[in-house]
Amino acid sequence: MRRLCIHTITTKPWTTEECISRYAAAGVGGITFWRYNLEGRNPAVVGKQAREAGLDIVSLCRGGFFPASSAEGRQKAIDDNRRCIEEAQALGAPLIVLVCGAVPGQSLEESRKQIADGIAAVLPDAEAAGVKLGIEPLHPMYADDRSAVNTMRQANDICDALGSPDMLGIAADVYHIWWDPELQHQIEFTAAQKRLFAFHICDWKTPTTDFLNDRGLMGEGCIPIRQISDWVDATGYKGPREVEIFSHRYWAMDQDEYLGKITESYRQLYV
């Protein structure tokens, strides 16, 4: 259970404080905050609350969204990522997850170039703050407007192109990459490059009825989560398994009951 981490957006109806207290009470080991959790709050205080409750702060979601059709838009994104790095440092989060971004109608090649440029621009800030950046490859169904980085191979290519800096790595989420025929190899390669920074879990339902908010709880869908998780662990990864579920259906239910379902499905998978 110590390796179970939950993303606050999973229980979106809860306040920041409710997430901290309920996760801790349920024996969850870690918490990944989303930036909306910090709105109107002092990140350092939120971080202290979480640590005092016994939770490891795993990461801050999310930076990225670097591509834009204008130089002004790209600069705005860089500025926002710098703020995100400051927030992560104050919070005590060792990692920021990057949803890299894409602009509909702009070529994916150009978006990837802008992503690499954006990351290069903020890397010195991340290094100075001691905050790592994890590129999260997103499922190809998000290539239009959310991310032009859709496979672990592409994420690795960006890390390589930027000289493989220590603070830059990959956040692997089974929802986005489970279908990839290269998956096992890419997990091994990523870990060998010491850049497997995070591992997210949830499930893919059949049918899925919403492009964003119909993810399933582990065990409800077709993703071979345990197999992928075993590949990850076989590389020596000992980090958290982060539950990140966007779901209108689950957000509508009693969140305490839902948290019980999360810990139960995690136990069935791993214990």
Give DSSP secondary structure letters for the chain.
-TTEEEEGGGGTTS-HHHHHHHHHHTT--EEEEEGGGGTTS-HHHHHHHHHHTT-EEEEEEEEE----SSHHHHHHHHHHHHHHHHHHHHHT-SEEEEE-B--TTS-HHHHHHHHHHHHHHHHHHHHHHT-EEEE-PPPGGGTTTTBS--SHHHHHHHHHHTT--TTEEEEEEHHHHTT-TTHHHHHHHHHHTT-EEEEEE-B--SS---SSSBPBPTTSSS--HHHHHHHHHHTT--S-EEE---BHHHHTS-HHHHHHHHHHHHHHHH-
67 binds its own copies (CB under 8 A): no
- Per-position x/- string for 147-186, each x denoting binding to its own copies as judged by CB under 8 A, each - no binding: ---xx-xx-----------------------xxxx-----
**Segment 182-211, which members bind its own copies (CB under 8 A)?**
204, 206-209, 211
**Segment 19-48, which members bind its own copies (CB under 8 A)?**
none
| Span from 46-54, 63-71, 144-152, 241-249 in contact with its own copies (CB under 8 A) | 144-152
By CB under 8 A, name the one of 40, 105, 163, 257 that touches its own copies: 105
145 binds its own copies (CB under 8 A): yes
Tell me whether residue 77 or residue 102 sits nearer to its own copies (CB atom).
102
Q: Give how many residues touch its own copies by CB under 8 A.
A: 27
104 binds its own copies (CB under 8 A): yes
Tell me whether residue 75 or residue 107 sits nearer to its own copies (CB atom).
107
Nearest distance in Å: CB 55, its own copies: 33
Q: Which residues bind its own copies (CB under 8 A)?
A: 104-105, 107-108, 139-141, 143-145, 150-151, 153-154, 178-181, 204, 206-209, 211, 221-222, 224
